[in-house]
Amino acid sequence: MGGGGFLYHMKKSLEGNRALLKKRGHFNNANDHAISRAKTIPKYKKATDRQLQYYKALVSQERSRQTTKMILIGIFVFFLFSALLLFIFFSNPR
């Protein structure tokens, strides 16, 4: 009988899925809502103006470093791609 193995596999996987649905999980408890209410909201200190200026300077330095790095990588890729195209089109004499 053709397809018997496929049908058997389908039957077994459906039985396994039904068994998983009947199985009681860890998160089906009646007190799940009480656990989520018990979380505390963290309290953060207010930053001073000097600290804000310091972190703004750090962020701007990091951004300028990333911009410089991306420009250098772009230039490198451009020259590499140009060299590759020159090699492909002008290395083979016709």
Give the model's pLDDT for residue 46: 92
Give the model's pLDDT for residue 60: 96
pLDDT, tens digit, 9 for 90 and up, residues 18-43: 887 777 666 665 555 555 555 677 78
Domain boundaries, the chain: 64-88
Q: How confident is the model over 72-86, as a mean pLDDT?
A: 96
Could you please report the per-residue DSSP string of the chain? -TTHHHHHHHHHHHHHHHHHHHS--TT--TTHHHHHHTPPPP--PPPPHHHHHHHHHHHHHHHHHHHHHHHHHHHHHHHHHHHHHHHHHHSS--
Give the model's pLDDT for residue 61: 97
pLDDT, tens digit, 9 for 90 and up, residues 41-63: 778 889 999 999 999 999 999 99
94 vs 17: which has the higher pLDDT: 17
